[in-house]
Amino acid sequence: MDKSILKKAYATDDFRKRGHQLVDELADHLEDKLQEKSRKAIQWNEPDTELEFWNDFLQNGNKNTLFSQITQRTTYVHHPKYIGHQVSPTAPITALTGMISALLNNGMAVYEMGMAPSAIERVITDWLCEKIGFEKKSSGFLTSGGTLANLTALLSARKAIIADDIWNEGHSENLGIIVSEEAHYCVDRAAKIMGLGEKGIIKIPATEGFQMNTLLLEEAFQKITDKGIKIFAIVGSAPSTATGIYDNLTEINDFAKKKDLWFHVDGAHGGAAIFSKKHKHTLEGIDKADSVVIDGHKMMMMPTITTALLFKDGKNATATFSQKADYLLTQYDHEDWYNSGKKTFECTKTMMSIHWYAMLKFYGEDIFEAYVTHLYDMGHLFGNIVENDPYFEIATKPVSNIVCFRFVKPTLDIDTANTLNEKIRRILLEDGEYYIVQTKLRGVHYLRCTIMNPFTTEKHLKSLLEKIKNIADGLI
Ligand SMILES: *Cc1c(COP(=O)(O)O)cnc(C)c1O
């Protein structure tokens, strides 16, 4: 065994040299994309082509080009023509905090393994609770993604609402939750993981405008209760992922209180609207929720993956996982707010709190107000442009930065139009100038844009529509 290889891996001069070079390369990348020096938002390759490249690179590639190859062969979220999935073009400062977390590698499960980031996490979650409008006894933590946060919240809900000790005894009673049919699929997955089964996920049809139809709640609740299923939670989407439409949180809360249900708000995408004076009305009623999820990597400009899960009553956060792992945790519950592993699904997690703190410290809360307000405004603007163009039809008037629309012509029947829009999106992907996505709503195929980049302008959006018209002309 050659031990010198270990020394080589930790050589600090190599780290310094490659590190400086990488920061330069990434800064160049940012300039290149933000200022559109490169034409494309994505350099599309088929999965098998990409696989072949990386298999070959491991054997034959030059390691000095590794970082630049990775950078090139990705989707450029900082390009103004990236208008696709809901991840932030990261604020560069949080790439630096990402590097700190990766290098220092404090695992966060217990206070001793992340003193600064644990205290910082408390600062951040207390601040978020206050912004939501929660009272003093509220608290929260950061966890790895909206999916995990929603599962954790539903576990907290079950613990709080159901009297039986399900954690230790398992459950024999039939349990259920209520969601909108438009809720993110991870809520469905969470319920399945919890053993509720298909019958335990009560999906309320949405209105024409894609909101949970709260008029149907009472009847659905009665029907399911009569079947012997005990409902313990109701989830509001803020907003739902496909359409960007917010459920009416006030009405859902009223129903939750009437029936003694846990009220959870999935604000993974749009919970950040609490920062926008102009758009926070979309979240009216959020302060009445028992738990709220907000993703940092979606509408808060941070790197994947960091999510806040916030509880109106902090003791529910501590109670979720009552299993004791004594080697990790002290027995005095009230004393150890700082041992994050007691409340999170994860044992080890990244030092994610430092992204949030750096954003606050460098730019203040105003950065989030500016980001959310601008992007939601752009969503409204794009909605208007699409609505006024006879070649396009909008799924519903946007209330956030998510816009679903499709190319239409009066002569096209629904199947032809669906196939046409699917082909348009495929051609856009292969061309790569714009990156947008697609979704199916009630059997209709839509093109879907999420305006995530603050430098995407009206001009970009209009030229995207022109491009789509040209593609469609070529296809019809
Ligand atoms: C993105 C999203 C999720 C999933 O969050 P991840 O951070 O991707 O795990 C859940 N719910 C909604 C409404 C979302 O938009």
Q: Report whether 414 contacts 216 (CB < 8 A).
A: no
Name residue 231's amino acid: I
Measured distance CA(316)–CA(106) in Å, rounded: 26
Q: Domain ends where: 309, 330, 364?
A: 364
Residue type, 57: F
Q: What is the pLDDT of residue 129?
A: 98
What's the confidence (pLDDT) of residue 165? 85
**Token code pair at residue 30:** 């940012």
Confidence of residue 339 (pLDDT cuts 50, 70, 90): confident
Q: Please report whether residue 5 resides in a domain.
A: no
Residue 2 binned pLDDT confidence (cut-offs 50, 70, 90): confident
Average of per-residue pLDDT across 102-122: 95
pLDDT of residue 337: 87
- Given a cut of 60, whether residue 428 has pLDDT beyond it is yes
Please determine, for residue 311, whether its predicted confidence score (pLDDT) is greater than 50: yes
Residue 408 sits in which domain range? 10-91+365-476
> What is the CATH number for 386?
3.90.1150.170
The pLDDT assigned to 332 comes to 47
Answer whether 143 contacts ligand 1 (Cβ < 6 A): no
> Does 173 lie in the same domain as 285?
yes
pLDDT of residue 323: 63
Answer whether 145 contacts ligand 1 (Cβ < 6 A): yes
pLDDT digits (tens, 9 = 90+) for 128-155: 999 999 999 999 999 999 999 999 999 9
What type of residue is 397? K
Confidence band of 334 (pLDDT split at 50, 70, 90)? low
Question: How much is the average pLDDT of 201-215?
Answer: 97
Q: Are residues 173 and 299 in the same domain?
A: yes
User: 144 in ligand 1 pocket by Cβ < 6 Å?
Assistant: no
- Which band of pLDDT confidence, cut at 50, 70 and 90, is reported for residue 336? confident
* Ligand 1 atom at minimal distance to the Cα of residue 297: 7
Q: Are strands 262-266 and 307-311 parallel, antiparallel or unpaired?
A: unpaired
Region 354-374: what's the mean pLDDT? 98
Instruction: Assign 164 a pLDDT band (cuts: 50, 70, 90).
Output: confident
How confident is the model over 405-414, as a mean pLDDT? 94
Q: Is 325 exposed, middle or buried (0-12, 13-18, 19+ CB in 10 A)?
A: exposed
Helices 366-387 and 458-475 pack at an angle, to 10 degrees, of 40
Secondary structure of 180-236 in HEC code, one letter for each residue = ECCCCHHHHHHHHHCCCCHHHEEEECECCCCCECHHHHHHHHHHHHHCCEEEEEEEE
Same domain, 59 and 116: no
Q: Would you say residue 335 lies in a domain?
A: yes
Cβ(139)–Cβ(128) below 8 Å? no
Cβ of residue 287 lying under 6 Å from some atom of ligand 1: no
Does residue 326 register a pLDDT over 80? Answer: no
Report the distance separating Cα 407 and Cα 390, nearest Å. Answer: 9
Question: Residue 329: its pLDDT value, please?
Answer: 44
Residues 192 and 72 occupy one common structural domain: no
Q: Are strands 392-394 and 402-407 parallel, antiparallel or unpaired?
A: antiparallel
Task: Please give the average per-residue pLDDT across 31-44, as a whole number.
Answer: 96
Residue 399 and residue 261 in one domain? no
Task: For residues 326 and 420, state if they share a domain.
Answer: no
Give Cα 296 distance to the centre of its chain: 8
Residue with tokens 């844009």: 449
Number of domains in the chain: 2
Q: What is the pLDDT of residue 168?
A: 86
Taking the model in full, what pTM does it have? 0.96
Structure-block tokens of residue 385: 């442009």
Residues 289 and 332 reside in one and the same domain: yes
Predicted local confidence at residue 340, as pLDDT: 85
Rounded CA gap, 131 and 353, in Å?
A: 17
Of the candidate ranges 131-140, 318-327, 387-396, the one whose mean pLDDT is the lowest:
318-327
How far lies 439's CA from each of 405, 406, 445, in Å?
10, 10, 6
Contact 295, 269 (CB under 8 A): yes
CA-186 nearest atom, ligand 1: 10
Mutate to test the pocket of ligand 1, among 85, 154, 182, 186 (most ligand atoms within 8 A of CB): 186
In this structure, the answer to whether residues 379 and 358 fall within a common structural domain is no
Question: Does residue 221 form part of some domain?
Answer: yes
- What distance in angstroms lies between residue 269's CA and the mean position of ligand 1's atoms? 7
Query: Is 178 in a helix, a strand, or coil?
Result: strand
Give SS3 for 46. coil
Residue 324, pLDDT above cutoff 70: no
425 and 369 belong to one structural domain: yes
* 368 has pLDDT over 60: yes
Asked which of 312, 341, 364 is the last residue of a domain, the reply is 364
> Which of 185, 187, 245, 266 to mutate for ligand 1's pocket (most ligand atoms within 8 Å of CB)?
266
Assign residue 242 the CATH number of its domain. Answer: 3.40.640.10
Final residue before a domain boundary, out of 364, 398, 424: 364
What single DSSP character describes residue 274? G
Least trusted range by pLDDT, from 111-115, 168-172, 213-217, 258-262: 168-172
